[in-house]
Amino acid sequence: MPNCRLVGFLLPLIVGMGGCAFNPIYLAERPFLAKQLPQGISMSDYVEPGPFGTRITVAEKLAWLGARPGLDGKIHDLLGNEVAFWPDYSTGADPGSEFWRRRHEALEELRKRCRVIEMERDPRLGYVQ
């Protein structure tokens, strides 16, 4: 039988690490999360800049959200909301105001239904002229 004091000490630590990339539960579920990512998105893809010039990846963002693989084949955050990805497809050419308006409306509709991870363009790639 496990030591109750040890369990009483470790359980809050593990549960409290819900948004941590080193959470043992997240580490165990990471391969399942990777399989449920949308086509064209990988765990190492850039999401946003982090503190001190670091790069936040999809894997780190999912850990921060406390993401879990769902039985429905989708990824869900700690509160049970579906997680969706919104990649930045900006190139150098401006497609026009109508395109940006429709894209903004689609993003707002998606935000009403699920937790959206907005993926910025990786600054290491530069911009297409």
pLDDT digits (tens, 9 = 90+) for 19-41: 455 555 556 677 888 899 999 89
Cα–Cα distance, 38 to 23 (Å, whole number): 23
- To 10 degrees, what angle do helices 24-35 and 58-65 make? 120
Q: Which amino acid is at 123?
A: P
| CB contact at 8 A, 58 and 117 | yes
The domain ranges of the chain are 18-121
Q: pLDDT per residue over 84-115, tens digit each?
A: 999 887 666 777 788 889 989 999 999 999 99
| CB contact at 8 A, 119 and 45 | yes
Rg (CA), the chain: 18
Q: Say if residue 6's pLDDT is above 80.
A: no
**Mean confidence (pLDDT) of the chain:** 79
Residue 45 DSSP one-character state:
S
CA 35 to chain centre: 14
SS3 87: strand
pTM: 0.73
Nearest-5° angle of CA 106, CA 110, CA 116? Answer: 120
